[in-house]
Amino acid sequence: MIREVIDIEQYNWRAYVFMDAKAQHADEILNLIEHIGIDGAQLMKAERHLQRAVRNSGMTYSSPSERASVVVIGHATSVEETVNTFSHELRHLVDDIAAACGITVSGEEVAYLTGDIALTLASSLLHIVCECPICSSHE
């Protein structure tokens, strides 16, 4: 699993991103979800999701009051599915930041935010999707 912490300074937001997550990483991820203030039914939902280790899936939990998110890109069955899940969860992250910060979701500002986050995570994503011996040994 690859772990990234992204500080999105313009919006005073921190995103904890886990890529290629599997069931054995559940405790670490759940502790962080709880740390940002997600509890109760949402925490239990996240726990069930992580323990089932459903491939080709992910999840994003955000706390506007803490200005933080936990993004999980689960283990996938193909490069295409990894990119699909990454794109899906990136959208949730950007939507959550936009809602908390009053950003219009149809404008250039949200498009730049999306691109900036994608660029920040591009190297990690490459290590997940690349099948060469160096990249595939990231675990």
Domain assignments of the chain as residue spans, ordered by start: 2-134
d(CA 92, CA 87): 9
- Exposed/middle/buried for 93, CB within 10 Å: 0-12, 13-18, 19+? buried
Q: What is the pTM of this model?
A: 0.92
Q: What pLDDT was estimated at residue 54?
A: 81
Blockwise average pLDDT, block size 10, the chain, 139 residues: 96 97 94 95 92 89 97 94 96 98 93 97 91 66
Closest Cα to residue 25, out of 43, 1, 45?
1
